[in-house]
Structure 1
Amino acid sequence: MKKIILLFSMILTTSFVVAQADVISKHSGENVTGKVVRVDEYTVVFKYDGEDAENSIGKYAIEKIVYGKSGRVEDVTEKIVVSGEADWEKVVILEEKSYIAGLKKVGDVRGKTGLINFQTGNTGDKKAEKKLKMAAAVLGCPFILMTADKTTVGANSNQLGGVQAIKTGLGYKY
């Protein structure tokens, strides 16, 4: 009888502890169980159950958070679906490495303007950005971590002395 009571109390205690935990639902379908410490502008800081170390996940990877104590559901971000090159306008360029926490690296992407490029203002920059986003969309990546953004002018650019914008990054998906 004592064993049954002990087993029953262990089950109740385990259920109570799990019910108190916060659940972070990622767009990839994965759930992370622990305690949300704080929600920052671009990241969520949490601790796994039974651990003291703080971990962080970028908000772009998170669909929602369900708080264990109150049951409140906080929607974090909407999932961005990129099916191919036609969806290039949906691609988001990120400039901070912490924003990609929780996303999976797919590969390098690059966008640049042509060799004969006589652009005015930031037209070349916009063309290079569009090509960068198109390259990511081909890989099915809704996110790019920008690694280099440069514009070369004159003899440094090409033999004709024009201007060339070059952008490089890493493509990420859920």
Structure 2
Amino acid sequence: MTQQARSKFIITLCLFMLMAAGAFAQADTIYLHNGDVVIGKVHRIAEKTVQFSYENEDAQQSYGKYAIDRIAFGRSGRVQYISDKIRVFNRGDWERVIVIDNTDEVAGLTRRGEVKGKTAFINYRTGEGSDKTALKKLKMDAAELGCAFVYITVDKDIDRKSDEGGGFGQLQSIKKGFGYSY
């Protein structure tokens, strides 16, 4: 190879590397709470989700905002924080558990198992009190699994009153769902 051909090859190689580095620098980086990093293009940040596509792909994907720590935008260099990490270690952390009512919000989280909460068949609570107690038990069940999130699949009240009426303590609340973590 002549000196002139070698010089052209080196210049072409350098230009190619600069273009590749420039293309990489323009990619967006999504940092997930579970430690994973996603390189691609963010298309939209909605109220509860982030739509993106993986690098070198056109198909759009979605993560719930609870799964994402921050996004670094490659083109501008700006960093946008999306959500704080919620730490749940044991049953005592039940108050930190967040109830999710939309399946889009669990995208990017890991399902850990079914969780339940209900009040007794006969109890000494009003309807509202019965509902709060069942929700607390559901969150405690999730926290025991180490789950910071619960997607509720069943939320019903069973009225145990007879035709003659009845009153206090005859409403049973039942809640079921799935616990999710990072």
TM-score (norm 2): 0.89
- Once the two structures are superposed, what CA deviation does each residue of 1:65-112 show, in whole Å capped at 9, x if it has no partner? 101111001000000000101100000000000000000100000000
On the 8 A contact 1:118/1:163 being kept in 2, the answer is no
Aligned to 2:179: 171
Q: Secondary structure at the match of 1:122?
A: helix
Where structure 1 has 5 or more consecutive residues not aligned to the other structure, the ranges are none
Q: Secondary structure at the match of 2:117?
A: strand
Aligned pair count reads: 170
2:151 pairs with 1:145? yes
On the 8 A contact 1:140/1:173 being kept in 2, the answer is yes
Query: Which residue identity lines up with residue 102 of structure 2 in the other structure?
Result: E
- Once the two structures are superposed, what CA deviation does each residue of 1:1-56 show, in whole Å capped at 9, x if it has no partner? 24333332222222111100011100011111111111000000011122211111
Where structure 2 has 5 or more consecutive residues not aligned to the other structure, the ranges are 1-5, 163-168
Residue 155 of structure 1, CA deviation = 6.5
Query: Which residue identity lines up with residue 97 of structure 1 in the other structure?
Result: T
Query: Which residue identity lines up with residue 123 of structure 1 in the other structure?
Result: G
Q: Secondary structure at the match of 2:57?
A: coil
Matches within 5 A, 1:15-30: 15-30=21-36
2:60 pairs with 1:36? no
Identity of aligned residues (%): 48
State the alpha-carbon separation in 2 of the partners of residues 10 and 143 from structure 1.
46
Aligned to 2:119: 113
Aligned to 2:85: 79
- Once the two structures are superposed, what CA deviation does each residue of 1:145-167 show, in whole Å capped at 9, x if it has no partner? 110100101179xxxx9221000
| Structure index of larger Rg | 2
Q: Secondary structure at the match of 1:3?
A: helix
Query: Which residue identity lines up with residue 66 of structure 1 in the other structure?
Result: A
Q: Secondary structure at the match of 1:152?
A: strand
Aligned to 2:165: none
Q: Secondary structure at the match of 2:132?
A: helix
Between stretches 161-170 and 82-91, larger displacement belongs to 161-170
Aligned to 2:20: 14
Q: Which segments of structure 1 move beyond 6 Å, counting only runs of 4 or more?
A: none
Q: CA RMSD in A?
A: 1.5
